[in-house]
Amino acid sequence: MKREDLVEQARLAAKSASHNLEVISRNPDKMQPGKLYNGVVYLNNMIRLAEKELETKKDRRPGQSRLRSRLMSLLVSIVADEQRKRKERTT
């Protein structure tokens, strides 16, 4: 199975996982006795995987800078160059 498919499955499972964990903890008899532990472990893993995916999605890759910082550095270099040219003309 592809990683993207697994991530999508984890997102869908994580949306309802916290609710499902609450239901299981309130009513453990709703689950089959042999599958209770595995179900809880699976739901916790899906929640953890979805949180990890959100963290990595929010992280910027090294070497990338935001547009604002690029524009500011460009603007500062233009202004500094103009000031330097003015000083050269006056002297």
CB atoms within 10 A of CB 17: 20
Are 17 and 39 found together in one domain? yes
In this prediction the pTM is: 0.50
Co-location of 54 and 70 in the same domain: no
Distances (CA, A) of 26 to 19, 34, 38, 51, 91: 11, 17, 17, 24, 83
Q: Are residues 51 and 35 in the same domain?
A: yes
Note down the domain range covering 78. 65-91
Query: In this structure, are 1 and 24 located in the same domain?
Result: yes
pLDDT (tens digit per residue) in 60-88: 666 666 777 778 888 888 888 887 877 77
- Per residue in 4-26, pLDDT (tens digit) is 787 777 777 777 888 888 888 89
Task: Supply the angle between the helices 3-26 and 36-58 in degrees, to the nearest 10.
Answer: 130
Q: Are residues 54 and 72 in the same domain?
A: no
> Which residue intervals of the chain are DSSP H helices?
3-26, 36-58, 67-90
Clarify whether residues 23 and 37 are in a common domain.
yes
* Polymer length of the chain: 91
